[in-house]
Amino acid sequence: MTLILFSYFAAVIVATAIGVIASRKPVNSALALLVMFFHVAGLFVLLDAEFIAAVQIIVYAGAILVLYLFVVMLLNVRAEEGYHRQFVVGLVVGLAILIEAVLILSRSGFADRFPPTVSLAPSAAAIQGNTEAIGRALYTTYLFPFEVASLILLVAMIGAIILAKKGIFGKEERRK
């Protein structure tokens, strides 16, 4: 049963991911991406990580993709514009990522690199609930990476505010 569901989710993820980059209309790409996010959430549910599945939908499908669609609709991008110019760059980046993926997969010791205490094994997660498991892992084992990530987000936030408010800051200085 799990295998059938996994194959279904994986197949749809691959198909819609191709749809995202192959479609010529930006809105269709965004819709394909939406379907893909849902199926990725499905994979998380299969792994007994319901919390991450819900967060995946809330953050990616519910917030980020809506903003993408927003921009696409506001700018009214034409089908041919903006795409397919960065073919060479895309090829180089794509090759690099492909080589990395192959390298990671070829070192088959991937699974046992994770310390057993933090892996969300179904039994442990089912006993204490996977929300608690994630909270505990984030605030004990992974406290430092967590703090670094929040610092980076804070910097990005300040950067966005400064970029957006350029005109306002300029005016205030002139007034002084």
Partner 1 sequence: MIEMAQYLIVVLVTIGIVMVTVLLHVAYLTYFERKILGWMQDRMGPMEVGYHGLLQPIADGLKLFFKEDIVPAQANKVIFTLAPILVLVPALIGFAVIPFGRDTIQIFGLTFRPYVTDINIGILYILAFASIGAYGVLLGGWASNNKYSLLGGLRSAAQVISYELSLGLSIVGVLLLAGSLSLVKITEAQGGGMFHWFIIPQFVAFVIYLISAIAETNRLPFDLPEAESELVAGFFTEYSGMRFAFFFLAEYANMILVSCIATILFLGGWHAPFEALSFIPPILWFVGKVYLFLFFYIWIRGTLPRLRYDQLMMFGWKVMIPLALANILVTSVVLYFVKG
Q: Which residue lies nearer to partner 1 by CB, 110 or 165?
A: 165
Crossing angle of the two packed helices 65-75 and 26-46, in degrees rounded to 10:
180
The DSSP annotation for 95-137 comes to: HHHHHHHHHHHHSGGGGGGS-TTTS--HHHHHHH-HHHHHHHH
How far apart CA 57 and CA 39 sit, in angstroms, is: 10
Stretch that binds partner 1, among 10-18, 45-53, 113-121, 158-166 (CB under 8 A): 45-53
Output 2 or 108, the one with its CB closest to partner 1: 2
| 137 near partner 1, rule: CB under 8 A | no
Q: Does 164 contact partner 1 by CB under 8 A?
A: no
**Widest Cα–Cα separation across the chain:** 70
Q: Which amino acid is at 6?
A: F
Under the binding rule (CB under 8 A), the answer on residue 130 touching partner 1 is yes
- Is 27 one of the binding residues for partner 1 (CB under 8 A)? yes
> Which of residues 13 and 37 has its CB atom nearest to partner 1 in the complex?
37
Residue (of 132, 118, 119, 142) closest to 47 by Cα position: 119
- The rounded Cα 101 to chain-centroid distance in angstroms is 17
> How far apart are CB 42 and partner 1 at their closest, in Å?
12
Instruction: Name the minimum Å distance from CB 106 to partner 1.
Output: 36
Among 17, 20, 31, 124, contact with partner 1 (rule: CB under 8 A):
31
Give, as ranges, the residues between 51 and 80 that touch partner 1 (CB under 8 A): 51, 53-55, 57-58, 61-63, 66-67, 69-70, 73-74
